[in-house]
Every structure is written in structure tokens, then in C-alpha cells.
Structure 1
């Protein structure tokens, strides 16, 4: 049996606000946090409508600001203590603003500043801009960087749990930190596109895989730009759907069967048709119906769905049969939300699938 709506709303609000010990850090009075109403709760009377709106709404900017502040505090300690010349940047759900937790993890790229690899086919590959490197390999440099980071973080944050078991990141949690922070040793890679544009969007990074003694390519800034662009083209519909799907996965009693991660969920929504997810704010619940229909198209067109690339072009979104099959579980979660919303909005006891969709498409939700 699926989670009842009261449990869903309670878990959603807890997730968005974080645990009570964090309230003071986020300028929210813990004594009043339980009765504090968010914007989405004021826009609808029905519980399912409140849940859907809350699942789509961005986390309160106060929490996001404090997540970044924790990242800045960690960056400052690294800068003050490390001997290697490094620079920093963020990747992941927080800078993209599709995170669903008030107390959200934050990923910090720690990039070697004096070492860069390049696409040899780029227009400037043979120019004076780049010189031949004769020093240690990228893996050696990043392994050394990681070792230095592990030591200085343990020294700088003696009460924080420093987890060095991760293959790609050093995990920091607890103690004086109000957020989990992942430190990712990496270096720049200047792609052919970047050599022409010199835009950060086109600049790539290579991240250390410690256990394999390898590096892998990542395009975090292109991913963010692609999603931001689509979000602008759809009046915010793109990010609302990404957040909703992430929340539905989090609240699912079959979450372990939904194998697509946050990055892949964003990639799937990136391939939704713009015309059906571009709706005015008063018609926001129509996005739930559109999501059901778009996922249904993917499920019924397996070859096409499995051919879809991530927005940054790094790889296929659905890399395995298991991931494709798990879309059905995610689709079921969306379908359940569609059904309950339609019944709530129409006050009918039962509706056909077509009536459910039409009810959401014609729905009206007040502003604040």
C-alpha cells in the first residue's frame, strides 16, 4: 500500500525544512517551525494539491544560501592551509536549484590551478596558450592532492566526520557542519568548444577515481546551462518537474526500485516536449499530467528512450535495461499522484484516465 497523504506531506515538509537542530542555523525559530506555513500550503485547500505544489516548489532560498555558506567555510579552510595552487567550483543539484532538501549536500570541486589537459583537436591546441607538460601524470597529481586534502580537513575540522572511503569524493558530515559537504579532487580539461568560446559553460573537468587510478570526464557547467536554458523556455516547468520526480522517488515505498539518480532524472525531463511543460503558474498541476504522459511515451518507445543522451552529452541516460525498467515504477508514482489530484479537484469518486488528465489540464491554482 502506498504512503498516505498525511505521511507524504509530513515527510515533504520535514525534508524541505531539515531537522530541528538546524533551524537556528537557518534563521528559523525551532519553536514555531512545526506551524510555519510555506507558500505552497497557502495556494491550495486539498492535501494532494498541497503535496504536488510543494514537491515542485524550490527549497526556501534561506536554506540554499546557508548550504552555500557552509561550502564557502570549507573552501576558506582549504585555501588557508593547502600548499598546492587550487581553485574551486560547485556542481550538482544545489547550484542548479533542483535540490529537494533544506539541509542539502553540497559538492565542491577542488581543481588544480596549474595543471590542465586539452583536446588535441581544438583550434588552440598547438598555440602558445598551452605548453607541453613534463611533470607527473594527472592521476599522480590528483592522488597527491586528495591525500593533502584528507590530512588538512581532519586537522581543520577535528569534530567533523571525514569519510575517506569514497572513490571520487571526501565526505564531510556532523560536528560543526550543518550540511554534508563532498570534496571532489579534479583538474580542468579544455575542450575544443572551450578553446573557441573560452566560456566556462564549455570547460570540462576530470575527476579522480581513486580505486581505479583513473580520471573520468565531467561537464557540470554545461549540464547546468542546458537545464537552466530549458527551464527558461518552459517558464520554470522543467525544474518543477525535476523536483517533483525526486520527491516522488524519495517518498516511494519502492524507492530502491527506481534506479535513475538525480542527474538522470534531470536528463529525462530535459527531453520532455517544451510545449506540454510550458504552463502558467495558475495551471501548475497540469505539469503532473504532462509528466505522466511524457514518461509513458518513453516507456512505449524503448529504443528511442535508451538512445537519449544526458544534457551534457557525456553518456546515455538509461545505461541499462534495469534503469529503463525502473521508469515504470517512477511512472506508477506519477500516475498515483495524477489520480489522487484529479479525484480531489473534481470531487468525483472515480475517473477514467482521460478524465484525470483533462481535470489536471483544466485545473486552476491560486497565487499567494
Structure 2
């Protein structure tokens, strides 16, 4: 954590508001760009800590969704294949940390799906006699590549991605990833008829294969965890993602957004269920929960993503990077506690106690 807090606040503001240059150094400009969390404390570490927990202003999120809708409309009007659309990823889950945030669109075949034959309603599906799913997805992917290039001719349309076509620049204010896919009606979905249980098969261009994804189950499980914890889970997910972004070497912290959310899913509920006036205590709780995960390595490496797809920490290298993320939290806790206590130095136990006892304005 070598960046000083003033630099961190500046980078946070740029990240949250989508700016790439510093705002004018004037009182008027600072007031115009001020977010509500900045008024809750005079301390810079406290402002930074509050800021890295808060959701991005909805006006920026709405702009991301609006760009997604533009791309969807172009696809709908240009391709011959019948499709439907869904969003996946950090934006619909509301744990994105950038004002200019990427948005992921699933483009799903509307006339084709697969189903688990062991499901309770398997006998109700009609046998499929048309082209195979892989052939249909390959054709859809080809259509998307051609038509998106034509529709967004001033933008960069990256068709080399194995899973997604990436659009950026030109008239687009956000990067948009477009993913060819189809539904799979799982055993659970056939019983529940709840979208959270419906799987998606994602097309991989290079190998002409698909892999299973459960984006709506992931979103639903994290949302439920967050409800149980009075908003604490998503605040911590955003905090950890921001700390990774502000670290000296973000690429060394190889746990991604999906995995960070999965780890927080296994945090104990009670320590992270705090009212807004005790928000700073979430730093202490996060430090303690990561300490627990690192101390119980075998348990941590056995944890499965909330959607049940795979292990969260599936390698030694990833476990080591978790230690780097914990170190970022540790340094934040120490700096914040020193600022709050107005002391020159605190040991680890004193720092945690200061944070656990801290109170801050809710507005």
C-alpha cells in the first residue's frame, strides 16, 4: 500500500466518475464533483474507506445499461437468428466499481435449448430434429461478428475473443461484451421454474464447444447473502475490488471479481451485519474473516463458488494472491485506525479495537 491517501482518493474519484484527468483544483469544482460519502468525515482515510464500499452513482450504471440496450437493438434488427438477451456480471449484481463499467450481454438462441434428461419435466420436451446446437451457435457468432462491425463501424470490434466479442470506442461510451449462448434447463430449473436455476451454455469459438454457466444463481445467492447482512456483503466485495485496483501490482492479486464475491459469500454473517454508522468496522471484520480463510487453508481451498460451478481458490498461486489481498486490508485497517485514534502508532489488536468501536455519520 505505497500510494498515499490523497492519490488513492483521486484515483477512486476518477474510477467512480469515469474521468481520466484530474478535476480543476478549485473549490467550485470539488463541490460539484463531491459524493455523499465525502461529507461523512473530515479524515482522508475514512473518506477513502467509505468511498471504496459504496455503489457507483446510479446515473453511471444507467449509462452502462443504456449502451447495452443500444447494442441489443442493433443485434435484434440486423441478424436473422432468433435470439433473446440477458445481462450478467458485476453491473446487474451492483458490485462494479467503475463509473465507466463494462457490461456483458448474453445473446441466447430463442429456438433451441438443451435440458437435463433426469429432470422432473424431461418428458415434456419435444425431440430436436434441426441443426445441432454447436452449429447454430457458430452461425450466430459469425452473424454477430459481421453485423456488429457494420453497426459500430467507428468502434473497435474485437472478434478474437474465444467467448465474447468486445466492442469499445467510437460512439460507444462503455465497453460491451457480447456472448453467444443458449439455455440449458437443469434438473433444478425443471422443478422450480425459477430463472435463478436456469443454466447457460456459453459458446467457445476456438474449440467449437460450450461450457456451463449459472450467472443468475450467482447473482441471486450474492443478493440473498447481502440481504442477510444488511448490505455488508456487497460493501465488502466493492472494498476488496477497489483495494486490488489500488494495489502496487493488481495483476499479482489473481483472484477476480467473481472469486472475490464467492469468498465474501462464505464470510460469517454476524460480524459483517452492521448499521451504516458502524461502516468503518467492516474493515476490521474483513481482516478477521480473511485471517480465518488463510489460517484454515484446506477449508478455504475446498470452497465452491455460490453457483456450484467450481472451486473458488483452485491453485496454490491463487491462495498466495489471497494473502496479498489480505495484506492490503491489513494496511488499510492500520492507517484508518491511526487516523481515527489520532495516535502515531497502534499494534494490530489495538487497531482492530479502534475500528470495531468506531462510529461515523450516516449522512
- Is the CA contact 1:207–1:216 (under 8 Å) kept in the aligned structure 2? yes
C-alpha distance in structure 2 between counterparts of 1:20 and 1:261, whole Å: 23
The alignment covers a number of residue pairs equal to: 358
The aligned residue for residue 295 of structure 1 is 290
Q: 1:103 and 2:107 equivalent? A: no
Cα distance per residue 1:305-348 (max 9 Å; x no partner): 00001010110000111101111100000000000000000011
SS at match of 2:170: coil
SS at match of 2:334: helix
C-alpha distance in structure 1 between counterparts of 2:79 and 2:94, whole Å: 30
The aligned residue for residue 77 of structure 1 is 74
Cα distance per residue 1:118-153 (max 9 Å; x no partner): 1111001122xx111122222211111000001010
Q: How does 1:15-164 map to 2 (within 5 A)?
A: 15-19=15-19, 32=29, 35-127=32-124, 130-164=125-159
In the superposition, the TM-score normalised over structure 2's length comes to 0.96
- Is the CA contact 1:277–1:290 (under 8 Å) kept in the aligned structure 2? yes
C-alpha distance in structure 1 between counterparts of 2:348 and 2:301, whole Å: 26
The aligned residue for residue 8 of structure 2 is 8
Specify every segment of 5 or more residues in structure 2 that has no aligned partner in the other structure, as ranges: none
- Is the CA contact 1:106–1:180 (under 8 Å) kept in the aligned structure 2? yes
- Is the CA contact 1:267–1:317 (under 8 Å) kept in the aligned structure 2? yes
Which of 237, 240, 264 in structure 1 is aligned with 2:235? 240
CA displacement at 1:33 relative to structure 2? 7.0
C-alpha distance in structure 2 between counterparts of 1:36 and 1:122, whole Å: 54
- Is the CA contact 1:254–1:329 (under 8 Å) kept in the aligned structure 2? no
SS at match of 1:323: helix
Cα distance per residue 1:281-326 (max 9 Å; x no partner): 0000111111111011111111000000101011000011110111
Q: 1:181 and 2:156 equivalent? A: no
Q: How does 1:178-217 map to 2 (within 5 A)?
A: 178-217=173-212
The aligned residue for residue 260 of structure 2 is 265
C-alpha RMSD of matched pairs (Å): 1.4
Q: 1:284 and 2:279 equivalent? A: yes
The aligned residue for residue 367 of structure 1 is 362
Kindly report structure 1 stretches of 4+ aligned residues shifted beyond 2 Å: 31-35, 134-137
SS at match of 1:151: helix
The aligned residue for residue 334 of structure 2 is 339
The aligned residue for residue 28 of structure 1 is none
SS at match of 1:153: helix
C-alpha distance in structure 1 between counterparts of 2:327 and 2:272, whole Å: 19
